[in-house]
């Protein structure tokens, strides 16, 4: 039953993710050198020179799937995903910049993270790998893969991501502050603070 729920959730996202990927692929030819230059000028101060930010306030972007990052940047720019800082920075990027930056980030090596909360690691593993069936919370692994690498063009990488950042995003998805992912809103809405913290911490240490 848990596997069925996870597969059903994955299938729900598949069409939208693939459609967006096709749209990205149809853009101009990728120039990763230009992407690196633009990233260095606009993004590196917060997200790190190689996409591995040192501050948990800012997500690690190295190794993230290009279609996912492009979608987020376009939605920051349009206002669909509200963030005053990123709204300003994304406005500085045209479509070619977005494509070049995200392609360059995709080939940067992500730094490994680690689960740090020993009291919550078992709970985090349970939710990530098996979900909570009686509350209809699907296993995270069904969409984000067992090792947290995500699925290209559909679901973001979670492994190595700052636990604090992932925790914050789940909470903003839950309360509607972040309103650009209806399915993740529905999932997060069923989770309490302890469960969110546990799964965010566990995902950070996946490899």
Predicted local distance difference test score (pLDDT) of residue 50: 98
Predicted local distance difference test score (pLDDT) of residue 182: 96
Q: Distance between CA atoms of 95 and 26, rounded to whole angstroms?
A: 11
pLDDT by 10s per residue, the chain, length 207: 444 444 444 444 443 444 444 444 456 799 999 999 999 999 999 999 999 999 999 999 999 999 999 999 999 999 999 999 999 999 999 999 999 999 999 999 999 999 999 999 999 999 999 999 999 999 999 999 999 999 998 899 999 999 999 999 999 999 999 999 999 999 999 999 999 999 999 999 999
Burial of 114 (0-12, 13-18, 19+ CB in 10 A): exposed
DSSP for 12-27, written as a single string: HHHHHHHHHHHHHHTS
Q: Distance between CA atoms of 144 and 155, rounded to whole angstroms?
A: 6
Predicted local distance difference test score (pLDDT) of residue 154: 86
Taking a C-beta distance cutoff of 8 angstroms, is the pair 128, 199 a contact?
yes
Q: Which domains does the chain have, with CATH numbers?
A: 2-12+112-204 (1.10.760.10), 20-106 (1.10.760.10)
């Amino acid at each position: 039953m848990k596997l069925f729920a996870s597969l059903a959730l994955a299938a729900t996202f598949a069409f939208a993710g693939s459609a967006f990927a096709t749209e990205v692929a149809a853009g101009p030819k990728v120039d990763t050198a230009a992407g690196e230059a633009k990233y260095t000028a606009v993004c590196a101060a917060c997200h790190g020179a190689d996409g591995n930010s040192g501050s948990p306030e800012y997500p690690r972007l190295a190794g993230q799937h290009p279609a996912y990052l492009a979608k987020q940047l376009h939605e920051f720019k349009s206002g669909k995903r509200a963030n005053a800082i990123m709204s300003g920075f994304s406005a500085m990027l045209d479509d070619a910049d977005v494509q070049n930056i995200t392609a360059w980030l995709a080939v940067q090596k992500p730094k490994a993270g680690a689960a740090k909360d020993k009291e919550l690691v078992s709970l985090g593993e349970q939710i990530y790998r098996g979900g909570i069936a009686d509350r209809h919370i699907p296993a995270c692994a069904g969409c984000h893969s067992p090792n947290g690498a995500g699925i290209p063009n559909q679901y973001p990488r979670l492994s190595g991501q700052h636990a604090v950042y992932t925790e914050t995003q789940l909470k903003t998805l839950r309360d509607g502050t972040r309103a650009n992912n209806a399915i993740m809103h529905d999932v997060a809405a069923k989770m309490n603070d302890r469960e969110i913290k546990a799964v965010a911490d566990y995902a950070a240490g996946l490899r």
